[in-house]
Structure formats: structure tokens, C-alpha cells
Amino acid sequence: MFGFFAIDIVLVHLAFKLNFRDARRYETLQLTKTKLTVEQVAPSSRRERWRFQPYWLQVELDDNPALDGTLNLRSHGRMVEIGSFLTAEENINLANALRAGLNKLRTIEPS
């Protein structure tokens, strides 16, 4: 019985450790008049950065439930998946907010 209890403690500890490690993963999106910058930071602190010109950027949301609403940004043959750790509903909200921001930029007269 104590052996099983010890295994349970080790598994709970491992689950918490993995959860805290994964919590260090994040993404930032910065939309300006001239570019959308996406920066993804992995739990290992490895950073990747993409820049897209907003006028040509396409926001694609896959509604396939098996893929949990994959959200992709695509422009000029380049693609990046964002929000992979978000729920399907959160991805829908993010896609709508990005589309609204991009549409607003596209309708502003150049100064």
C-alpha cells in the first residue's frame, strides 16, 4: 500500500512540475501600421519571431474540432500557428480581434 502511495506522490509531483514548466510558454502579438510581430517563447526560453506586413496578412481559423480550432497567420508563402495553447473559443475570439484590427488598419488613409 505504501508503494502505491509513493508512486502517487511522485506522479503528482511530476504533473505539477510539467504544468509549471509549460506555464512559462507565451506569445505576444504587436500590431502597428506597418507590421504584425509575433513572438513565441517556449518553456525552454527559446524565442522565435515573425514579422508580417498587415495589408497582405490572412487570418485562418480551422474549425475542425479534432484540431481544437487551429489559428494560422499566412502571408507571402509564410505561415505561423499561434494560440496553440488556447481553447477553441479563445482562438475564435483572438481571430476575430486580429481581423478587426487588420480591417481597421486597412481602411485608414495613409498619412
Domains of the chain, earliest start first: 26-107 (2.30.29.30)
Given a cut of 60, is residue 111 above it in pLDDT? Answer: no
Using alpha carbons only, how large is the chain's radius of gyration in Å? 19
Which regions of 1-111 does DSSP assign to beta strands (E)? 26-31, 36-41, 47-52, 58-61, 71-75, 78-82
Rounded to two decimals, the pTM is 0.73
The 10s digit of each residue's pLDDT in 45-88 is 899 999 999 999 999 998 765 656 689 999 999 999 998 888 88
Per-residue confidence (pLDDT) for residue 109, from 0 to 100:
61
Question: How far is C-alpha 22 from the geometric centre of its chain's CA atoms?
Answer: 13
